[in-house]
Amino acid sequence: QKEVEQDPGPLSVPEGAIVSLNCTYSNSAFQYFMWYRQYSRKGPELLMYTYSSGNKEDGRFTAQVDKSSKYISLFIRDSQPSDSATYLCAMSPSGAGSYQLTFGKGTKLSVIP
Amino acid sequence: DGGITQSPKYLFRKEGQNVTLSCEQNLNHDAMYWYRQDPGQGLRLIYYSQIVNDFQKGDIAEGYSVSREKKESFPLTVTSAQKNPTAFYLCASSRTGGAGELFFGEGSRLTVL
């Protein structure tokens, strides 16, 4: 079993829809959980950053971490065509291991006007 | 504006040649990283450096070399020993104390002819 599993999609939704993106993981030592957005031929940019379990909201984006289920989610409300990108989950343990993020393979999202 | 600059954006090389990718940051970050991205593979860590004059191998270091002589610079050399070097290479940096919030460059696409 891979350490981080992420459905690659592609996922296509109409403008205004609520989008749910998910990752599962197997390493119980992971403490930091991130979501990155990557536009085509560009470097990823950090969207959301969460330490340990819980929810975090930033505008139209909500990140959830459920450590008991080893499951993280990113919700996008009122999706826009500009949200069309690949979304990568990433996670790491704390301490010295925090320098080595493990990434999911990414989910490609298209928001159709 | 602070950020990470990678050059060149596109690079072609013949088999058997070494090539060096440049990465410069002006974010005053101590830690720097090199990742490789292949279609459907996600990001894989090649090397990382927590501080000047020190660096560690990541998951796929074979066939690559790095140096960290200055805080701002972390060049990556793709040697002829790398069996499948065609890929998208991403440089990133972060503050010390954890790798979660990575800031990425725009990437360098290397094609071996």
Main-chain dihedrals φ then ψ at residue A42, nearest 5 degrees: -125, 165
What span, in angstroms and rounded, lies between the C-alpha atoms of B113 and B14?
A: 5
**A12 SS3 class:** strand
- At residue A99, the pLDDT reads 82
- At residue B67, the pLDDT reads 97
Please give the structure tokens belonging to residue A26: 């197997």
Residues A62-85: tens digit of each pLDDT: 999 999 999 999 999 999 999 999
Q: Is the pLDDT assigned to residue A1 strictly greater than 70?
A: no
Please give the structure tokens belonging to residue A91: 């996670």
Q: Is the pLDDT assigned to residue A57 strictly greater than 80?
A: yes
In 3D space, the residue among A28, A107, A45, A58 whose CA is nearest the CA of residue B101 turns out to be A45
Q: Is the pLDDT assigned to residue B98 strictly greater than 60?
A: no
DSSP state of B14: -
Q: B95 to chain A, minimum CA–CA distance in Å? A: 10
Q: Is the pLDDT assigned to residue B5 strictly greater than 90?
A: yes
Q: Is the dihedral of CA A87, A99, B78, B69 positive or negative?
A: positive
Please give the structure tokens belonging to residue A61: 């984006």
Contact B104 A45 (CB under 8 A): yes
Could you tell me if A47 and A35 are in contact, meaning their C-beta atoms sit under 8 angstroms apart? yes
Least confident of A87-91, A99-103, B96-100: B96-100
Chain B residue numbers touching A32 (CB-CB < 8 A):
98-100
Q: B39 to chain A, minimum CA–CA distance in Å? A: 9
Q: Is the pLDDT assigned to residue B24 strictly greater than 90?
A: yes
Contact A101 B98 (CB under 8 A): no
Residues B61-79: tens digit of each pLDDT: 999 999 999 999 999 999 9
Chain B residue numbers touching A105 (CB-CB < 8 A):
40-42
- At residue B80, the pLDDT reads 87
Could you tell me if A99 and B50 are in contact, meaning their C-beta atoms sit under 8 angstroms apart? yes
Residues A3-40: tens digit of each pLDDT: 899 988 899 999 999 999 999 999 999 999 999 999 99
In 3D space, the residue among A49, A51, A42 whose CA is nearest the CA of residue A86 turns out to be A42
Please give the structure tokens belonging to residue B19: 């090539």
